[in-house]
Amino acid sequence: MKFTVISLISFLSFFCNVLAQYAPQAGLTGSTAISATSGRFAAWATGCTIQRGFMDIANPTLGYASIGDSSQAIGPADDNTVSLGDSGIADLTFIHPIYNGPGPDFAVFENGFRNATDSSLAFLELGFVEVSSDGIHYFRFPANSLTQTQVQVSNNSYIDAANLNNLAGKYVGMYGTPFDLDDLIGIPGLDVNNITNVRIVDVVGPINGHASLDSAGRRINDPYPTPYPSCGFDLDAIGVIHELYESVKQLPGNISVNIYPNPASDGVVVSITNQFPSGLKASLTNITGIVLQQIILSDKNNEILMGQYPSGMYFLTLSDLNGNRWLEKITKR
Ligand SMILES: [Ca+2]
Ligand SMILES: [Ca+2]
Ligand SMILES: [Ca+2]
């Protein structure tokens, strides 16, 4: 009987390794983990509200997760966390919106920890990540979990990050799991260049009963049950990589910008009122984040024609050679 159990575990771990196809745990070659101290973060979440989940979703009489509070999710990653509980939710806000720049745009920090003897394995508690550009409609990153679903992951078992994609908590403490807004381009009602809210939803881990499903309908095997006050996703921080500045009136170096008319009919003029910076780009996107025009600004007055587009809301983004961006909302009559 013991031989059979060992064989099963060997088989499952072999099976997992064959299937593993995503980036491995922090510190291993090919990992996409971003260290909290990497210097890539321009900003951190500034507001957080928490809806706690139960310590055990199947036994509500035990009460709710209770460790930490919303302040633990604000500011730079520091390994101090707030516990969400089974299916608990955290809503995060930021001083400036997040935009879809090259590569990952923000990263989520949890407090998972490594297996002492196998650096590819870690104790991980997972969360779905959703974003919104209006604070009302949220859209979930398509998550993938290839962790086996035959044996329940428990409060003392370890999983392989290489089986996980687009799930917060994939990486150990002080290493952020990156999210790239490219994955959500073209969804009606979401502007990937103006993300105002990020939401974390605890993955409920039982492989039977209250299972959470990934984007392919697979059950996500996440530690369960964990009937403790520290139950569920432990949110440490959200770091912003691509931060959007909302005013284009003033650029660095005392450069003033005037965009008119707004609302517009035939088009808008982008007027630079003094010393002209080189490499300044303007990009016009529609409400779903699709880029309609991209122009290198080469003159003090630059006209962007809009007569061919339907009425509605558009975004004009200016960017400089240092990667800074500024956003102006344009209403087309
Ligand atoms: Ca991106
Ligand atoms: Ca969970
Ligand atoms: Ca924290």
- Report CA(242)–ligand 1 centroid distance (Å): 8
- Does residue 165 form part of some domain? yes
Does residue 141 sit in the same domain as residue 111? yes
pLDDT tens digits along 280-289: 899 998 877 7
Please report the sign of the dihedral spanned by the C-alpha atoms of residue 5, residue 11, residue 14, residue 20.
negative
As for how many domains the chain has, the answer is: 2
CB 287 within 8 A of CB 191: yes
- Report CA(221)–ligand 2 centroid distance (Å): 9
- Report CA(151)–ligand 1 centroid distance (Å): 35
- Report CA(295)–ligand 3 centroid distance (Å): 40
Q: Where are the alpha helices (DSSP H) in the chain?
A: 2-19
Does residue 262 sit in the same domain as residue 237? no
Supply the range of the domain harboring residue 87. Answer: 22-244
In the predicted model, what is the mean pLDDT of residues 243-269? 83
| Gap between the Cα atoms of 87 and 287, Å rounded | 31
Strands 244-245 and 325-332: parallel
**Ligand with the closest atom to the CA of 105:** 1
Residue finishing a domain among 197, 219, 244: 244
* Sequence-distant (≥ 6) Cβ neighbours of residue 14 within 8 angstroms: none
What pLDDT is recorded for position 279?
A: 82
What pLDDT is recorded for position 275?
A: 67
- Specify the higher pLDDT residue, 248 or 93: 93
Tokens 């593993």 correspond to what residue? 20
The pair of three-digit structure tokens given for residue 99, joined into one six-digit string? 């935009």
- Report CA(178)–ligand 1 centroid distance (Å): 10
| Gap between the Cα atoms of 86 and 225, Å rounded | 9
Does residue 58 sit in the same domain as residue 101? yes
- Does residue 125 form part of some domain? yes
* Sequence-distant (≥ 6) Cβ neighbours of residue 104 within 8 angstroms: 32, 34, 178, 179, 180, 241
- Report CA(251)–ligand 2 centroid distance (Å): 44
- Specify the higher pLDDT residue, 47 or 274: 47
Percent of the chain surpassing pLDDT 90: 69
- Report CA(5)–ligand 1 centroid distance (Å): 44
- Report CA(179)–ligand 3 centroid distance (Å): 18
In the predicted model, what is the mean pLDDT of residues 41-66? 96
φ, ψ dihedrals at 259, nearest 5°: -120, 120
**Ligand with the closest atom to the CA of 75:** 3
Q: Which of 93-102, 154-163, 212-221 is the least confident region?
A: 93-102
Does residue 294 sit in the same domain as residue 237? no
Instruction: State the DSSP code for 310.
Output: P
- Does residue 91 form part of some domain? yes
What pLDDT is recorded for position 130?
A: 98
Asked if residue 242 has pLDDT above 50, the reply is yes
pLDDT band, residue 247 (cuts 50/70/90): low
Residue finishing a domain among 244, 260, 278: 244
What pLDDT is recorded for position 256?
A: 84
Write the burial class of residue 74 (CB in 10 Å: 0-12 exposed, 13-18 middle, 19+ buried): middle
CA 200 to chain centre: 9
Question: CATH number for the domain including 328?
Answer: 2.60.40.3080
φ, ψ dihedrals at 248, nearest 5°: -110, 15
Can you name the residues that pair with 325 across neighbouring β-strands?
A: 244, 319
- Does residue 2 form part of some domain? no
- Report CA(166)–ligand 1 centroid distance (Å): 13
Neighbours of ion ligand 3 (CB under 5 A): 72, 78, 80, 236-237
**Ligand with the closest atom to the CA of 183:** 1
**Ligand with the closest atom to the CA of 182:** 1
- Does residue 196 form part of some domain? yes
In the predicted model, what is the mean pLDDT of residues 139-155? 96
- Report CA(180)–ligand 3 centroid distance (Å): 22
**Ligand with the closest atom to the CA of 127:** 2
- Report CA(57)–ligand 2 centroid distance (Å): 10
Does residue 89 sit in the same domain as residue 158? yes
Does residue 63 sit in the same domain as residue 168? yes
Asked if residue 17 has pLDDT above 50, the reply is no
Q: Which of 47-56, 96-105, 112-121, 225-234 is the least confident region?
A: 96-105
What pLDDT is recorded for position 263?
A: 85
- Report CA(326)–ligand 1 centroid distance (Å): 16
Can you name the residues that pair with 200 across neighbouring β-strands?
A: 90, 129
| CA dist list (Å): 97 to 44, 180, 195 | 11, 14, 5
In the predicted model, what is the mean pLDDT of residues 200-206? 96
What pLDDT is recorded for position 19?
A: 60
pLDDT band, residue 8 (cuts 50/70/90): very low
Does residue 199 sit in the same domain as residue 259? no
Please report the sign of the dihedral spanned by the C-alpha atoms of residue 45, residue 132, residue 135, residue 320.
positive
Does residue 119 sit in the same domain as residue 224? yes
Does residue 291 sit in the same domain as residue 183? no
pLDDT band, residue 276 (cuts 50/70/90): low
| Gap between the Cα atoms of 65 and 188, Å rounded | 35
CB 28 within 8 A of CB 120: yes
- Specify the higher pLDDT residue, 272 or 138: 138
What pLDDT is recorded for position 94?
A: 95
| Average pLDDT of the chain, as a whole number | 90
Tokens 């697979």 correspond to what residue? 218
Sequence letter at residue 46: T
Tokens 């949220």 correspond to what residue? 138
